[in-house]
Amino acid sequence: MKKLFYLTVVAGIIISCNKSTKTIEVMNPFFETYTAPFEVPPFDKILNAHYLPAFQEGMKQHNTEIEQIASNPAAPDFANTIEVLDRSGDLLTRVSAVFFNVKEAATNDSINAIAEEVAPLLSQHRDAILLNESLFARVKAVYDQKESLQLNGEQARLLEETFKKFVRGGANLQEDKKEELKKVNEQLAMLELKFDKNLLAETNSFKLVIDNESDLAGLPENVIGAAAEQAKADGMEGKWIFTLQKPSWIPFVTYSEKRELREKIYKAIYNRCNNDNEFDNKAVINQFVNLRLQKANILGYESWSAYVLDDNMAKKPENVYALLQKIFDPAIKRAKEEVADMQKMVDKEGGNFKIESWDWWFYAEKVRKEKFDLDEEQLRPYFELTNVRDGAFAVATKLYGLTFTQLENMPLYHPECQVFEVKDADGSEIGVIYVDFFRAIQKKAVPG
């Protein structure tokens, strides 16, 4: 079978699925072999109603596989423990890959509801595996003899990461601590969902509606045109709407001559989920921070950062702070110089005010024009989306010999996706890449 890779830029993830599963239910695409070109998921056939049954069956199958590995009477070795563990959970991997990809790129109320139901189940499922004493005993037995196994580089890496995942997942804890960890993990999973849901809702709920053309002063024509299209799509044709999506708010604060409107949209973007309303995240963040600390303490770490960094190059928080301080001091000095330049511009133009953060984009652009004769709008044609995409592909071709060929008539989870076949320098097929350049937006719930 050919291997598939598909990427969502907004979500920044690459997922792979190259295996089939036995048919459980003919009408559920996840229970059938993918027959689309390159064996990509049949996005055009997948309904929201398919996800939960597939998750449930996927966890059921995975549990059976885990039990078979853990209870294997044969002495543990790399093949019968590490390899089979790595390959287990095929159906769960398939549905998770599709579901969370779609959730990040084009969610809706139905998908959010499924995520809230599935999150605690997945948390429990992961913990049941990582805290399985019999399974960990087999993994540890293989790990303890790693020096004599004559593993190649990939195998050694897999063994190392597998063992580490169990240890960092709490496999060495006492039973009472394991139970405490399970509860914390489940709460964290739900809080993460709540945080993301609130952030997306708050982002999508704001609209700066302009009905007076004079309030568009300073904005480039393409920005005005996009705002008019947004208004038309929202049933307000003849007006202009600016949102908290980057292609909308960044040009507005950069070019709008209406300072009070720049302040309004700027404060909206930076105060998301901090407005004491139904989408407020302050309490969520407080709970999140405390639960992370609790989890780190359970696992023997002084802080959450110490837990995270122990698995990274920096290793200790002090090393991160030392690096940041080296950057922070000169950065602050330079920032103050730039603010002073912007204040001079305000004063020269007769502005009777002290520059605020919502003025920075606007006056930074003015300073660039004056000092360097640089107008970002003149650069825009060179950074048109297709040009940037082709440029990124060209770099990959030059550095690694990869080639990208756009594919038509492929199943899509959203009509704005683009699909490319990727080949190696020798012409051999590597996979398929799904590219989605736009931020996640809240869609209306669809039937099913």
pLDDT average, residue stretch 33-38:
92
How high is the pLDDT of residue 189? 95
How high is the pLDDT of residue 5? 39
| Tens of pLDDT, residues 265-288 | 999 999 999 999 999 999 999 999
| Tens of pLDDT, residues 70-119 | 999 999 999 999 999 999 999 999 999 999 999 988 888 899 999 999 99
pLDDT average, residue stretch 283-311:
97
Burial class (CB in 10 A: 0-12, 13-18, 19+), 410: buried
Q: Cβ–Cβ contacts within 10 Å for residue 9, how many? A: 15
pLDDT top residue among 446 and 224? 224
Task: Taking each helix axis as running N to C, give the angle between helix 317-348 and helix 360-372, from 0 to 180 degrees, rounded to the nearest 10.
Answer: 70
And the tokens for 192? Answer: 């993460």
pLDDT at 10 over 70: no
pLDDT average, residue stretch 229-244:
96
pLDDT average, residue stretch 22-29:
62
Q: Which helix (H) or strand (E) holds 422?
A: strand 418-423
| Tens of pLDDT, residues 46-60 | 999 999 999 999 999
Q: In this predicted structure, which of 2-6, 24-28, 67-71, 327-331 has the lowest mean pLDDT?
A: 2-6
Q: What's the rounded Cα separation, in Å, for the pair 164 and 289?
A: 24
Pairing of the two strands 13-16 and 5-8: antiparallel
How many residues make up the chain in this entry? 448
pLDDT average, residue stretch 106-134:
94
Q: What's the rounded Cα separation, in Å, for the pair 72 and 65?
A: 11
Pairing of the two strands 441-443 and 106-108: parallel
